[in-house]
Structure 1
Amino acid sequence: MLSTHEYANDLILFALIVDCGSFSKAAESAGIPSSVISKRIGRLEKSLGNPQSCIGWVRYCNGSACHGV
């Protein structure tokens, strides 16, 4: 189970991915390897009990549904 700190950090990272539009751009922006991003998002999805749920939201938001909100 994730600690509150880990969960909050992973959610912030998820928001960065949405803002940047991709894992690689978010990794570059955060100054961390994209493999770390991938592992942390996988951990977040597992904690939410729905694998691939975060990826679906990134795709949904990058399809302009979340832009301008």
Structure 2
Amino acid sequence: MSLKITETTMAVVLDGKTIATATRTPTGWQVTTWPTPLDRNGAITALTLAELTITHGKDDPCVIDLREELAGG
């Protein structure tokens, strides 16, 4: 996995394929795999979550914890 971060975009790449992106907007970071805008740290977490979901599965304890953290609970 690689995480590419600039001032206005972020992308997570797995095996040469971009699996999720984030774009900076006036209301925060919009991540392709998350329904609501996030702050910068949340966007990085959401991109990590996208990668972990693919590599470990949606029922992995780390995936579940990160999803709950992003959801605010």
Task: Identify the TM-score tier after normalising by the shorter chain.
Answer: 0.3 to 0.5
TM-score, length of structure 1 as denominator length: 0.37
TM-score (norm 2): 0.35
Question: Relative to total residues, which structure has the larger strand share, 1 or 2?
Answer: 2
- Give the structure with the larger helix fraction: 1
